[in-house]
Amino acid sequence: MPEKIIGILGGMGPEATVDLFHKIIKFTPAEKDQDHLRIIIDNNPKIPDRTAAILGRGEDPFPALQESARNLGKTGADFIVVACNTAHYYISQIQESVNIPILNMIEETAKETQQIIPQIKKVGLLASIGTYKTEIYHKHFKKYNIEVISPEENDREGVMKIIYAVKAGNLSNDVKGNIYKIAQKLINKGAEAIIAGCTEIPLILKEGDISIPVIDPTQVLAEAAVQKAKL
C-alpha cells in the first residue's frame, strides 16, 4: 500500500509549523531521502488570531482555515494535521468542508497521556486563553477520566504573554523561567503531568525542565501522523 501524503495546515505561528514538520521527520524511520514521507505545508501566517476571535475581539479565522484545508486537499494531501491547538476549536467545521480526514491533536494527546501514564488523574494545562475558554482539552481528557487543571486567571494572562513573546522570537531564559513558575503552581495544585497545550510552549518547555512529565501535543501529533501515513 502506498504511503499517504501529509498536509500541514500551518502558519499559526511559523516556528510552531517548523517544529511539527521537524518532529514528523524525526519520528519517520528513514535511512535515506526516499524513506521520508511526502508532506505538503500551507504556512499561512495571515490566518486571523484564534484567541482574539474566540474572545470576540477579532476577525473570524474559520474562512482562512477552511481555505488552507481545501488547498491541501486540492494539492494532493491524503489527510491534514493542524499546527495550532486553539484552531482545534474550529476543527469540526473545517472537517465538514473537506473530504479528507483531519487528525485531532487534542484527542490524540488525551489518548497518548492515558496510555503512557495509565493511573493519571490530573494534568496541568499551559495554553492560550482561547484554549482555556473553549475547554477543548477538558472535554477530550474527560473521556479518559483525567481532570484538566488550569492556572489562575492572572497566570493565564501570563501564559498568553509568554506565547506572544515566543511568537516574536523571544526564547530567553527569562521567558523560560516564567513558564516554569506557572507550571510549578499547577504541580502544587496536584498536576501529575503538564500539557504543553499551545504549539509555542514546547519551544520553551521540554521534558526534564520540571519535576513531572511534560506532554508535547506537537510530538504526539507528529507520531500519529507518521503512523497514519504508513498504514
pLDDT tens, residue by residue, 156-198: 999 999 999 999 999 999 999 999 999 999 999 999 999 999 9
Mean per-residue pLDDT, 50-69? 97
Alpha-carbon separation of residue 170 from 12, 142, 181 (angstroms): 16, 34, 17
Q: Residue range 60-83: average pLDDT?
A: 98
Q: Is the pLDDT of residue 1 over 90?
A: no
Which residues are part of the catalytic machinery?
Answer: 84, 198
Alpha helices in 48-199 (DSSP H): 50-54, 62-74, 91-96, 105-116, 129-134, 136-142, 153-167, 173-188
Residue 221: CB atoms within 10 Å: 26
pLDDT at 191: 98
Per-residue pLDDT, averaged over 24-34, amounts to 97
Structure confidence at residue 14 (pLDDT): 94
Residue 55: helix, strand or coil by DSSP?
Answer: coil
Terminal Cα distance for the chain, rounded: 8
Q: Examine the pLDDT at 227 and tell me if it is beyond 80.
A: yes
Is residue 4 within 8 A of residue 79, CB to CB? The reply is yes
Whether residue 56 has a cis bond before it, omega within 30° of 0: no
Residue 109 CA to chain centroid, in angstroms?
Answer: 9
- Alpha carbon 161 to its chain centroid, in Å, reads 18
Contact 85, 148 (CB under 8 A): no
**Total-model pTM:** 0.94
Q: Given this model, what pLDDT does residue 231 score?
A: 87
pLDDT of residue 178: 97
In tens, the pLDDT along 103-161 reads 999 999 999 999 999 999 999 999 999 999 999 999 999 999 999 999 999 999 999 99
